[in-house]
Each structure stands twice: as C-alpha cells, then as structure tokens.
Structure 1
Amino acid sequence: MQLVSNKFLGSGFDVSKHGFPRQLEDSDLYSLIQTISFLGSRTWREGSVVDRGYLDFMPELTPEKMEHVAGALRDWPSGYFKFLDGICAGKDAPGGAIAMHWMFGGYYKCLVEAQKRLHFLFDGLQDYMNERLDGYLLTGRGNPAVLKVRDRRRYIPGFVARKQLRVGRQEFTRLVDRGFLQSRVFRTSYGDVACVHRDSVREYAEVKQRLVGRRQLSEELGISLHALYSLSVGNVLKPFHSPQKDGWPQWYYDRKAVDEWLNDLRALAQPISGVKQSLSLSEAVAAFNKQGVSYCSLFHAVGEGTLKLYRRQKDNESSLNCFHLSRFQLKSWYPSLS
C-alpha cells in the first residue's frame, strides 16, 4: 500500500526496505495496479479444484489476497519463488515430465498472454524454473535441455540471452552473425538448442548500456548529422554499429570511445589566451566550406600537427564549440583561404 500511495499521492514512503522488483518501482500507477490485480486473481484458495480457486472471488478474502500479493512482490525474487511454490506444489506432470501448463495451470497461460505488460513476472517464472531444474536448462518452449555441468557454467540458452539483452530475434541473430556473441549449438534429447557464452553476453550488455544514437550524439557535439557522418567515414570518430561497418540498420556510437576522443582533444588543446584572431570549429567550417574545409580535414590536420587546437572553457564540455583554431594558421595551412 505504501508503493501504491507513492504512485497515486506522491507520499514519498521509503519502500527500498521491502525489496520490490526494480521494474515495479519504476513503473506507473496503472502498471502497478495491473500487477496487483493479476497476482490477486491467481492466489490459491485451499480446498478448491485446480484452477477454479483462482477464479472465485469473495470480498472477505480481499485482505488475505493482498497480503499474499505483497509477499510475492517482497524480497524479489525469493518472495515470488515462494508464491510460485504454492501454485506448483504437487502438480508435477505424469512420469516426472516438465510441462509448464500442467505444473502451473491457468497461471502460466494467462502470464504468457500478459507477457508484454508483465514481462518481469514472466522472466521471474523462467528464472524460477531454471533454478528448480537442477542440472537442466529450460528452453523457450518450456522443455528441459540436458547439458553438462561444465557447459551450463559457460553457456546460456539463446532466449535467456535475448531476455537479458532486451533484444528481439532479428537483432539477436545479427549479434551472433557479426561475432558479438559467441554461440554454440548443443544436441539434446529435445533437439538442437542454440546457446551463447555467458561472458560474451555480459560484455555486450555493458557496451549496449553505453550506446548512443547518431542524432543524439550530433546534438551533444553541436554538429550536423552530415558532419558526424564525415567524421565516421573519415575514421576520426568510429561508430560501434553502422550499415557500412557491420550491416547494422542504424548508427550507434560507444559513449566510452566518444568520451576518450574528447578527452584526447582537451589534452591536446592549448589555452586560447594570446591568440588574436580565432575561429571555432563550426565557424571555420562555415566560413571556408566552399574551399573544401570540413570537420574531418580539420581534425586530420590537428592530428598531423599542422594546425594547433585551442580551447576556451565553456559550460557545455561535451560540445565541440569549445575548441578553436587560429585564423592565421588556417590561412597558412590552406593557401586558398587567403
């Protein structure tokens, strides 16, 4: 109720001690009500026929149901695992087989239908099954794939990797094909199971958090999309993903690489005091663009030592506008500018 009050009234209760899932704390009030309603409608009532007890509703049971829901969301994911234990208890499929629809009844079917809205509950169910099936890995179809312990430590199923990286099948396939993820196919009694190396998933997940799109980066640097494109094709600022580099449909840059490039420029730049006539990079390109001057040619000249880069301290350190050039040096370097 404290979490609901925070969302609805802005009460400011400290709910961190309860250990709610991060996705729930970051969600809006509507998503929170959906989650409570979904779990509340699936709480088990002792003595009821399988799956009928979930559908029965009596007002006098509401406090008990809300307490049950709170227990499922508290101390995530252990509270949720206990909630699933109550649903799954004594409902193994015949012959010891693993069948999600048999073990969890209508809860599994409803959760699959609501997967997009309540994805963290579905992810928690998969984690619950992968922990419960000691010695197995659960495939996307709910089948246990038998892998050796050594392989289980190194590899995870493709659907688990997609969940962790939050990518679709098409993007996941591109990551595997381009070598960003190390994949391997395991032959099991349930057929071939495609898995990827855990380390490669972790490494790309770290990079993915740092990726920035072309439009956002151009705005941060204070240059046009065309200027950023020229820096990319001129090997001044290399993209992490691009159509030319790896066939990626969009351009993405690694913010870590961008920050390192800007830091190198700041270290190279000299104080602008003493320079009588100076031009910012954008002013130099705008003034002499017809003569062939571009951001790319300027940075190449600076890298070769032909031009000196000067820096004027500005509030916006991420913009290239804090860097300047000497007009005299520009004319000496490019005679046609005279």
Structure 2
Amino acid sequence: MTGPLDAAYASCRRIAAEHGRTYYLATTLLSAPRRRAIHALYAFARMVDDIVDHAGDLGHVLDPHDPARPHSTQAPAQQLDLVEKSLRLAIEGGDIEITDPLQQQILTATADTIRRYDIDHAHLWTFLDAMRMDIPGTPTHRTRYATMSELREYMRGSAAAIGLQLLPVLGTVVPVTEAEPAAATLGEAFQLTNFLRDLAEDLDRDRVYLPADELAAFGVDEPHLRACRAGGHTDAPLRRALAHLIAVNRDLYRRATPGIALLDPRVRPAIGTATILYAEILDRIEDAGYQVFTTRATVPRHRRILVATTGFTTAVRRR
C-alpha cells in the first residue's frame, strides 16, 4: 500500500523523468533510496526554476496533463518566500503552508530527503538566494554578468550548491569536505553547459548569462547577440566566442571529473554517466555549427542508452 510519502516521491520521480532526461537516466544506476532522494532534490530545483521562469503558470509547467490546475496569483518573489518558509517548516516536521498539492508533495519529499541524509540546510537557502537574482524587483536581481567571476558568484548558488546537496546522498570515501570542491565544480560545469545550450531561450527572457568580457574579446556584445537571434544564425565572431566558452566549460569538467573517484564506488557509474552525457551536449553544439538559435543541442536517445548501459554494467560489477 502506497502512503503519502511514497506518493510524494512518485510525483518527484515523474517530474525528473519528464524534464531531466539525462539526470533521470543516470539515476537508474543508483539504489532505490538514493534514486528517489535525487528525484526529490531535482523536483525541488525544477519547481523553483519554474516559479522564476513561469510565474503564474507553475501547475501547467510541472503537470501538463492536468489543465484544470489553478494558476498562482502570487508574484514570483512571494512564491519563492513561501516555498522557503514552507520548506523550513517541513524540515522541522511542521505543516506546509503552500496549498498547491503538487508543491506540497515536492516539499514533503525534499524535507524527508534533507532529514534522512542530513543535508546542510544552508545549501538550500544559498540556492534560493541565487534564484531570487533572476526575479525582477528583488534587491539582488540581475540579468547580465560582466565577468566570469560575477557569473561564478551566481553559479555558487544556482549550481554549486546543488552539487553540495547531492554529496550526502551519494556518499563519499573521504570526508565530505574533501569532495566538496569537485562537486561544486561539476555543478558549475553542468550550469555553464545549460547557458551555452539555452542562449536563445535566455535572450528571449532578457537574460544574458554568458560573461560580457568573454564575448567582447571576440567582438560580440548584446546587440550582436540580438542581431544573430533575429536572423536565426550564428556568425563567425559568435562562433569563435562560443568555441572559447566551450573550451572553458570543458576545463570545468576536466577539473571536476577526478572528484568522481571520491564518491562511494556504487554511485560512481551514475555520476560518470551524467557527466559524460551532459558534456556531450557541447559536442552537439559544435556538430551543429554553433547554431544555438535554430537548434537545441541534445544527445540522441541511442547514445544516452549506450552510455547508461555501460554504466549499468560497471555498477553491477561493483556490487
């Protein structure tokens, strides 16, 4: 018989399967308890991201099969404040103040995961603070980043903090603090890949995450980006800029990958699979001639299955 907590985790699994194909495939290599904990943390991050990007339409974003779900009337900053308050209450075993049933389930599963794996609460609040930077009207709101250092400060919360949340779930063969730098760097690597792949989508939302000084070195500025977006093409200067940033991104993967050896041997195949598949998005951008305005770079399903199958074989041998 399925109880409320199992149902909450099941909803998180569905969200992860629908929206995080690469991560979801990698989690199939984990044990069931670890797998559902990862699903909960993913669903929480996805919920918050959707509040920021789709204010007033969260139900439709997370649950497209239920068009009757009511729209939220709260501003995104208020929604985020309520999410944080409700998560704090849930962690302490109190009543969640959010009334949306799906959000309640996500918060219930997330709070259970945090308690079960003794995840440092600060990583959750750091993540939420970074998400507030994406919301107009908040004191920390910003949509442009002048340097890579500025962008990394944002990614400290939006990406590195997520890597740090995952460490207690995955387990390590060294003290957690020794594995944290590599986990944070891998989170940044995944995030920068997202920014490169989603350049067009972010530009349409009036956000430019790629650092201005890195683009300027190749003669690219925001009007240049918008002209390429309007024309649906990537010209030579922008191709060179993207090639440079892809090289920067690959260096992050290079520096993060040794950290996989610091994880519990049973989870290494899963994280290795996720790392390989996400890094290959960069290959797809290159293969498409850097045409990020007309093509969304994805790793083909047959390739994802092949890499996951190899990881599964490795995982079985480790057990």
TM-score (norm 2): 0.23
Bigger relative contact order (CA 8 A; separation at least 6): 2
Higher helix proportion, which one?
2
Structure of larger gyration radius: 1
